[in-house]
């Protein structure tokens, strides 16, 4: 399970990302409304991962990435962005972002982005996939039951 900080100026996006993260079995330990707040919260909470919007008031996501990397050079940050902001994503990745996620977001896209940054992470869908695989395996290997009636 990962401890995640969600950074977005949009309430509905923070809510959606938080609910999706929780459905994957991870934990949201903080939410920030702009880049500046994310720096304060990062220092305090030391999350495993940050999801970072790009266009925000006070401090944009790219500046926040640079600042977070100064605090922790190993900080893992996924940029959350729209199509058309590819140049900014490249800029963010050059400054240390670990990956990106294109809006509109869904839980599968989010899960895949997290898995790219943490390839060995086990989330709820991993567990479900393993469970399904085990059930299929059991179905194949189940011995036939004799009719004793």
x/- string (CB under 8 A) for other proteins, residues 9-48? Answer: xxxxx-xx--xx----------------------------
Sign of CA dihedral 48, 54, 114, 87: negative
Q: With the C-alpha atoms ordered 87, 92, 93, 94, is the resulting torsion angle positive or negative?
A: positive
Closest CB to other proteins among 11 and 133? 11
Stretches 40-48, 103-111, 118-126, 139-147: which one binds other proteins (CB under 8 A)? 103-111
Does 82 engage in binding with other proteins (CB under 8 A)? yes
What are the phi and psi torsion angles at 72 (to 5°)?
Answer: -145, 105
Least distance CB 72 / other proteins (angstroms): 27
Which residue in the set 29, 45, 93, 107 belongs to the binding site for other proteins (CB under 8 A)? 107
**17-22 LR contacts (CB < 8 Å, sep 24+):** 17/51, 17/80, 17/105, 17/110, 20/105, 20/106, 20/107, 20/110, 21/51, 21/110
Residue 7: CB minimum distance to other proteins, A? 14
- Contacting residues toward other proteins, per CB under 8 A: 9-13, 15-16, 19-20, 55-57, 81-86, 103-104, 107
């Amino acid at each position: 399970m990962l401890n995640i900080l969600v950074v977005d100026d949009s309430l509905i996006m923070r809510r959606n990302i938080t609910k999706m993260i929780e459905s994957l079995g991870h934990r949201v330990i903080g939410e920030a409304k702009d880049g500046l707040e994310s720096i304060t919260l990062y220092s305090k909470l030391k999350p495993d991962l940050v999801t970072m919007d790009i266009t925000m008031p006070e401090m944009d996501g790219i500046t926040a990435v640079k600042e977070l990397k100064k605090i922790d050079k190993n900080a893992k940050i996924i940029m959350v962005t729209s199509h058309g902001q590819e140049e900014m994503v490249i800029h963010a990745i050059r400054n240390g972002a670990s990956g990106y996620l294109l809006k509109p977001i869904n839980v599968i896209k989010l899960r895949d982005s997290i898995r790219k940054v943490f390839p060995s992470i086990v989330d709820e869908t991993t567990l479900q996939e393993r469970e399904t695989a085990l059930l299929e395996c059991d179905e194949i290997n189940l011995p036939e039951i004799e009719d004793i009636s």
